[in-house]
Amino acid sequence: MKLIFLGPPGAGKGTIADLAVGALGLPHISTGDLFRAAVKNGTSLGLKVKDIMASGGLVPDELTIELVRERLGQADAAGGWILDGFPRTIPQAEALGKIAGVDKVVNFDVADEIVVGRLSGRRVCRSCGKIYHVANMPPKKEGACDIDGGELYTRDDDKEAAIKVRLDTYRAQTAPLIDWYGKKGSLMTIDGVGDPKAVLGRFMAAIGR
Ligand SMILES: [Zn+2]
């Protein structure tokens, strides 16, 4: 099963995808992870991505598509996958269509004010990257990671002004994909509000699993 997860930043796509990995046995492919892995592995694509990210720029479509193409060609992706964070634009969706077919596009619907609450409460461990939430998933000790005691901080893009920019970008660039895939008949919309396990349950029911 080849799935694309769509939804605004903070819709919980990554969390639901991680839960669905166990339930469906498909790899969770996130472009954020692909960028970080390419940089870490020092591949030629990774070196380009590193320069772009260091200068604060957006990774151009051709590079992103190339990374996705490589990843979808790996053995564990042969039986399907969950793509999260890609495609973000209609040109990316057109490029993906040349690489692979898609069975279902799952749109996680979450209102803006809920997104702002989710993202602005998010905290990340400076040493291991584990994500917490001040209300929904607090660490045992305030400000410190449960695993390694690392300092928890708010990422710049989880600050309120940045969240607004991310939502505006989503509305302008990514939300049009909802109509685009809708016309192709592969779209399903899931209520993304509530506990991740409840959202996963709605998603599993919608795909008949
Ligand atoms: Zn940690």
| DSSP sequence for 47-108 | HHHHHHHHTTPPPPHHHHHHHHHHHHTSGGGTT-EEEES---SHHHHHHHHHH---SEEEEE
pTM of the model: 0.84
Output the CA 140–ligand 1 centroid distance in Å: 12
Work out the percent of the chain whose per-residue pLDDT is above 90: 73
In this prediction, residue 141 carries a pLDDT of: 96
Mean pLDDT rounded to a whole number for the chain: 92
- Mean pLDDT score, 187-209: 93
Kindly tell me if the per-residue pLDDT of 176 is higher than 90: yes
- Tokens coding 102: 């898609």
**157 alpha-carbon distance from chain centroid:** 14
In this predicted model, what pLDDT tens digit does every residue of 111-121 receive, in sequence order? 999 999 989 99
Q: Which residues contact 182 (CB under 8 A, 6 or more apart)?
A: none
Which amino acids are annotated catalytic?
A: 13, 88, 122, 155, 166
Q: Which residues lie at CB < 5 A from ion ligand 1?
A: 125, 127-128, 130, 145, 147-148, 150
- Mean pLDDT score, 108-137: 93
Output the CA 124–ligand 1 centroid distance in Å: 8
Kindly tell me if the per-residue pLDDT of 56 is higher than 80: no
In this prediction, residue 57 carries a pLDDT of: 78
d(CA 202, CA 122) in angstroms, rounded, equals 24
Output the CA 157–ligand 1 centroid distance in Å: 19
Output the CA 129–ligand 1 centroid distance in Å: 6
In this prediction, residue 209 carries a pLDDT of: 86
Output the CA 151–ligand 1 centroid distance in Å: 8
Buried b (16+ CB within 10 A) or exposed e, 181-192: beeeebbeebeb
Beta-strand runs (E) in the chain: 2-6, 28-30, 81-84, 104-109, 122-125, 131-133, 152-153, 187-191
Output the CA 96–ligand 1 centroid distance in Å: 35
**Spatial contact of 10 and 119, defined as CB atoms under 8 Å apart:** yes
Output the CA 127–ligand 1 centroid distance in Å: 5
Output the CA 156–ligand 1 centroid distance in Å: 18
In this prediction, residue 146 carries a pLDDT of: 97
Q: What angle do CA 175, 193, 152 make, to 5 degrees?
A: 90
d(CA 14, CA 5) in angstroms, rounded, equals 9
**Spatial contact of 26 and 15, defined as CB atoms under 8 Å apart:** no
Indicate the length of the chain as a whole number: 209
